[in-house]
Amino acid sequence: MKKLITTALLASSILLPSIAANAAGTGDDPTLTFDIKTPNQEKVFAEKEEATKPKIGTLSLPDGTYKVLSVPSFKQETNYWCGPATTKQVLHYLTGSSKSQSDYASDLGTTTVGTDFTRIDDVLNKYQSKNTYVYASIGDYASWTSKTDWGLEHNYPAVLDLKITPSYMPKYTTTVEGHILNVSGIDSRNSPVQMRLTDPFDQGGRGVTLGNVWHPHRGVYDANNAHFRKAMQY
């Protein structure tokens, strides 16, 4: 498992207390840590970043694309298990079976504070070999679109770390400071372009956000970009 580092300098800064104080999320640990890749992840990361590098002026949406992945939905069993539930969703899709959310919570080191997002790829790679997941910065909208599209094209659900507000994703009625979930589709046949997310969280018990749900494509990017990590795994 990769080494996780939180520097004393950053821990003592004003950034982390402000994040922790506002971390009303679904299980996304607000502690600032850094992703340390294995040698194989470094190799795959370089290959994927090159393969998904958007050409200048090529992003044109809508572009007529429609693709969905049949990722199963598993409602998170506690209010801080979005990480274990998302891990279960992705692994069940990739392998046809999965362990319990409790098992994945143990693998991920999940606590009542939540799951460290940098550990998701390690657990995904531990239990399947179809795709070597890597942690990456999302970059601008074109870069993020290229990365999420790459996952859909190759049938690998990308995993996102979002700060959700109703202005970005209107099916949510209040702000969620940190939430982990996976991508499972895109519909760019019409405007506005939509992205399907497999969401383990049922906000307010309304049955609106839980499961495979369509959201504004640009809004999902904005929610990913609003999160302090500005990161994804694909």
pLDDT digits (tens, 9 = 90+) for 26-46: 999 999 999 999 999 999 999
Residue 136 bridge partners (DSSP): 232
pLDDT at residue 5 tops 60: no
At 57 the pLDDT is 64
Instruction: Determine whether 4 is exposed, middle or buried from the number of CB atoms within 10 Å of its CB (0-12, 13-18, 19+).
Output: middle
pLDDT at residue 6 tops 60: no
| Whole-number Å distance between alpha carbons of 45 and 133 | 8
At 23 the pLDDT is 38
**Of 217, 57, 234, the residue nearest 137 (C-alpha):** 234
16 SS3 class: helix
At residue 4 the predicted structure's pLDDT band, cuts being 50, 70 and 90, is: very low
- Looking at every residue in the chain, the average pLDDT score rounds to 90
Strand boundaries in the chain, DSSP class E: 66-68, 135-137, 159-164, 176-187, 194-199, 211-216, 231-233
| Whole-number Å distance between alpha carbons of 80 and 112 | 6
175 SS3 class: coil
In order of their start, the domains of the chain are 8-233 (3.90.70)
| Whole-number Å distance between alpha carbons of 26 and 211 | 15
At 151 the pLDDT is 97
For residues 179 and 201, the answer to whether their CB atoms sit within 8 Å is yes
CA distances from 80 to 23, 175, 222 (A): 11, 15, 23
| Whole-number Å distance between alpha carbons of 82 and 136 | 19
pLDDT at residue 21 tops 80: no
pTM: 0.89
pLDDT digits (tens, 9 = 90+) for 153-193: 999 999 999 999 999 999 999 999 999 999 999 999 999 99
Q: Which residue has the higher pLDDT, 3 or 197?
A: 197
pLDDT at residue 205 tops 70: yes
For residues 92 and 98, the answer to whether their CB atoms sit within 8 Å is yes
Residue range 146-151: mean pLDDT, rounded: 97
At residue 60 the predicted structure's pLDDT band, cuts being 50, 70 and 90, is: confident
| Whole-number Å distance between alpha carbons of 139 and 207 | 32
pLDDT at residue 98 tops 60: yes
At 59 the pLDDT is 85
